[in-house]
Copies of this chain bind each other. A is one copy, B any other.
Amino acid sequence: MSSKPVNGQGLPIPQIGPRPTSRYSTLARHLTEQIESGRYKVGHKMPTEAELQQRYDVSRHTVREALRDLKGQGLVVARAGVGTVVRARAPRMRFMQGVGTLRELIQFVEATRMRVLKTRQLIADDAMSARFGMKPGGQWHEASVLRFLPDESVPVASMLIYVRPEHADVLGMVDSAHAPVFSLIERLHGVRICEVGQQIAAVALTPPQARALKARAGAPALDITRRYTDAQDRIVMVSVGLYPSDRFSHNTKFRIQNEDAKEI
């Protein structure tokens, strides 16, 4: 009868809180501290699930629940066949908080119409891999899209949108659905976007680009490239937008979170 420590002790993890928390969340907190303290370094691999299972004397399920927490916070990335790699040392600083960033994005999307010019399949080559981080050889669907303000005939932007073949059906709904493409994928395919990386650069329009946008060749434009990734750090979608400078500027507001300005 000694083998029933179902929720009792036997776990060599320092139980900090006064209240007995669950094992997996205790383990999650413990691992988080190890990462924050630098015991597990960014870029390096965590111990395997089996290793953690033995070391802390818990079931593999419990280990996975704990790791799921860390994944959700973006601290680690797990990949089958490789392992669990530490990705960040802190659970995402709250230094600045985007104020209305997403809301403004959504409102912008809802206020504009999109017209899909054409779609095609393609295989990611080395150039795409270098630009977007897709694995070379992966299959993708590409849509060429123009974005219009209501009651205007001159497009605000021309975009290229890349999605996985299994999500390609959303490209057919972009015209009618006034919603961002990534949210369509989330809704229709149960994917969960976890992080969005955004790169903004200034470019000069090439002649074909200028023709599509009814703009002058060589005119300056914003190139806004966004990479949408899920919890496993897999790329779900990539969008490349070209916004002529006379029609669009990118505005963001940051609010400084005043509680911990100590770290700077």
Residues of chain A whose beta carbon lies under 8 Å from any beta carbon of chain B: 17-19, 25, 28-29, 32, 36, 69, 72-74, 90-103, 106, 165-166, 183, 186-190, 192-204, 218-222, 243-245, 249-256, 258, 260, 264
**In whole angstroms, what is the CA distance A67 to B165 when docked?**
26
- CB A121 to nearest CB in B, in angstroms, measures 13
Instruction: Check if A199 sits within 8 Å of B93, measured CB to CB.
Output: no
Chain B minimum-CB-distance residue to A255:
B195
Contact of A221 among B101, B218, B220 (CB under 8 A): B220
- CB A261 to nearest CB in B, in angstroms, measures 8
Instruction: Check if A203 sits within 8 Å of B102, measured CB to CB.
Output: no
Q: Assembly of this chain: how many copies?
A: 2
Instruction: Check if A166 sits within 8 Å of B204, measured CB to CB.
Output: no
Instruction: Check if A28 sits within 8 Å of B202, measured CB to CB.
Output: no
**In whole angstroms, what is the CA distance A29 to B190 when docked?**
5
- CB contacts (< 8 Å) of A94 on chain B: these are 97, 102
- CB A158 to nearest CB in B, in angstroms, measures 14
- CB contacts (< 8 Å) of A102 on chain B: these are 93-96, 254, 256, 264
**In whole angstroms, what is the CA distance A195 to B97 when docked?**
9
**In whole angstroms, what is the CA distance A93 to B256 when docked?**
13
- CB contacts (< 8 Å) of A256 on chain B: these are 102, 193-196
Chain B minimum-CB-distance residue to A166:
B17
Instruction: Check if B72 sits within 8 Å of A192, measured CB to CB.
Output: yes
- CB contacts (< 8 Å) of A220 on chain B: these are 202-204, 220-221
- CB contacts (< 8 Å) of A219 on chain B: these are 204
Q: Which 10 pairs of residues, A with B, have the shortest CB-CB distance?
A: A202-B220, A202-B245, A202-B202, A201-B249, A95-B102, A200-B250, A29-B190, A220-B220, A98-B98, A96-B102
Instruction: Check if A190 sits within 8 Å of B69, measured CB to CB.
Output: yes
Please give 10 more A-B residue pairs, beta carbons under 8 A apart, in addition to A93-B99, A202-B245: A93-B106, A98-B101, A102-B254, A102-B256, A195-B253, A200-B249, A201-B222, A204-B219, A218-B218, A220-B221
**In whole angstroms, what is the CA distance A91 to B91 when docked?**
24
- CB contacts (< 8 Å) of A195 on chain B: these are 99, 253-256
Instruction: Check if B186 sits within 8 Å of A91, measured CB to CB.
Output: yes
Instruction: Check if B93 sits within 8 Å of A187, measured CB to CB.
Output: no
**In whole angstroms, what is the CA distance A243 to B95 when docked?**
24
